[in-house]
Structure 1
Amino acid sequence: MIKQYRPILGKWLYEFPAGTIEEGESEDLTARRELEEEIGYVPLKLFKVLKFYVSPGIATELMHLYIATNLTKTTQKLEEYEVIEPFELTIDEAIKMIDEGKIEDGKTILSLLFISRKYQEIRSLLQG
């Protein structure tokens, strides 16, 4: 996960790495690029597990949730305006942070709850 300063809110948010799909870029390539840029790791494998509209009443933005495995350390490649601190925690620790109101980012809350509910199925996918 990442801790990212969001100037529009004037505070830090706990989030999953995410970013915009650039022109001519596939969702998989975007996921790989964003992981390296924001946390400084490149995944050997990616598994797409969910897609969802963020706010269909006002926008067409479609999010794609991936699970990344076999990560290789590189370096962060942040944009000049980004202030991001990567960190690790377990699913149980992240769910506790949701319960405590510490994770406020909608895409991250939805993704963590989905992953925790489907954990055994996702684990089998990753191992198979």
Structure 2
Amino acid sequence: MEIYRGRRLWIERSIARFPNGIEAEKVTVHPGSAVAILPVTPTGYKLLRQYRYAVGQYIYEAPAGTMEDGEDPLETAHRELIEEAGVAATTMIPKGFIYTTPGYTDEKIYLFEARGLSPSHEYEKDADEVIEVMDVTKDRVDAMVRNGTICDAKTICLIHRCMETA
């Protein structure tokens, strides 16, 4: 049973049947799929320092965004990189996907490594995005992950998956 529907997500309550035969009432959030992109520079990465209302603070994260209807992950990655970081990439390397919190949502985020960056202003940021683009060295990013300054799960996953090629 649908209990909420918004512009970007919907929430349902249902009776789930598990492989062991047990049934239980569950609530599932369906936000749709998204992408996250790690822009790689010669000395490190471009990260966003972005205000996130849900947690009430600025966090460091990779550019990311929701896929529009009919848009494929690669197309979304190119668009979101320009919208949020103000750069375009000549190369987007797929790095798989993650489920963000599979205990209550089916959200899937496709991961990409972006290379061959150049300035672009083809798209504008959304009005409710408060973003500062930061150039961060590889050593500093590693330290920020270790000390908890970077606490965004998709960003930590991207950094880890891109380490072998960075």
TM range (shorter): 0.7 to 0.9
Q: Secondary structure at the match of 1:30?
A: helix
Residue 90 (structure 1) shift: 2.4
Q: Does 2:125 match 1:40?
A: no
Question: Does the Cα contact within 8 Å between 1:50 and 1:65 map onto a contact in 2?
Answer: yes
Residue 66 (structure 1) shift: 0.6
TM-score of the aligned structures, taking structure 1 as reference length: 0.86
Question: Does the Cα contact within 8 Å between 1:40 and 1:73 map onto a contact in 2?
Answer: yes
- Write out aligned runs for 1:1-128 (5 A): 1-75=47-121, 77-116=124-163, 119=164, 122=165
Structure with greater strand percent: 2
Structure 1 runs, 4 residues or longer, greater than 6 Å off:
none
Residue 91 (structure 1) shift: 2.5
**Paired residues, what number?**
119
Which 5+ residue runs of structure 2 have no aligned equivalent? 1-46
Percent of pairs with identical residues: 34
Residue 92 (structure 1) shift: 2.4
Question: Does the Cα contact within 8 Å between 1:41 and 1:71 map onto a contact in 2?
Answer: yes
Q: 2:39 aligns to what?
A: none
2:130 partner letter: V
Q: 1-side partners of 2:154 and 2:132: how far apart? A: 18
Residue 114 (structure 1) shift: 2.6
Question: Does the Cα contact within 8 Å between 1:44 and 1:71 map onto a contact in 2?
Answer: yes
TM-score of the aligned structures, taking structure 2 as reference length: 0.68
1:17-69 CA-to-partner distances (Å, cap 9, x unmatched) read 00001100010010000000001011111110121111111111111111111
Q: 1-side partners of 2:52 and 2:162: how far apart? A: 25
RMSD value, Cα: 1.3
Q: 1:126 aligns to what?
A: none
Q: Secondary structure at the match of 2:76?
A: helix
2:101 partner letter: S
Which 5+ residue runs of structure 1 have no aligned equivalent? 124-128
Structure with greater helix percent: 1
2:81 partner letter: L
